[in-house]
Amino acid sequence: MNDVKNRISFALFEPDIPQNAGNVFRTAACLNTVVHVIEPCGFALSHAKLRRAGMDYIDHLELITHTSWAKFVETKPYDRLVLLTTKGDASLPDFDFRSGDCLLLGRESAGVPDDVHEFADIRLVLPMHAGLRSLNVSVAGAIAGFEALRQLQGLPSSNTISGH
């Protein structure tokens, strides 16, 4: 395993919708980033089940599970914990990412509890049209992850650009 503290990573806090977790897994595999899953999950999380569900990107994913929030914090696989939230105090276009940042994504049904919200080093909001509640958690993660890697010149080289 590569040194995860020298890279951008994602952390899913107690994910409860498997399709969204799968989208984050696919995004992370394509962007060559690590995913931390903080349990409990609202679904069975196993490589065999993910593979059966058609998540063929699982073999290209560095997935690390943590049995609880306390275990994740104890392990501290990040330099800064950047929570994506609708209640942010920093805005994505104005934010400078650093290597070692971990993008924390809350549960789709409830976000993160107040103590986790307060624990985050940065609470980052993605601008969106007024009056709308929020972006899908996997979409928000993909946007922020791509921007972090773009800033840090860490985007994977692409072999799919054809010039057309």
The CATH number of residue 74's host domain is: 3.40.1280.10
For 109, half-sphere exposure in the C-beta direction (CA atoms, 13 angstrom radius) is: 7
**Among residues of the chain, what percentage have pLDDT more than 90?**
63
Would you say residue 161 lies in a domain? no
Pick 80 or 162 by higher pLDDT: 80
Report the distance separating Cα 5 and Cα 40, nearest Å: 23
Count how many domains the chain has.
1
Q: Outline where DSSP puts E strands in the chain.
A: 9-13, 34-38, 62-66, 80-84, 90-91, 101-105, 122-125
Would you say residue 158 lies in a domain? no
pLDDT at residue 133, as a whole number: 83
What value does the mean pLDDT take over residues 130-153? 93
Structural domain of residue 130, as residue ranges?
4-151
pLDDT tops 70 at residue 39:
yes
Would you say residue 164 lies in a domain? no
pLDDT at residue 37, as a whole number: 95
Would you say residue 9 lies in a domain? yes
Would you say residue 160 lies in a domain? no
Would you say residue 162 lies in a domain? no
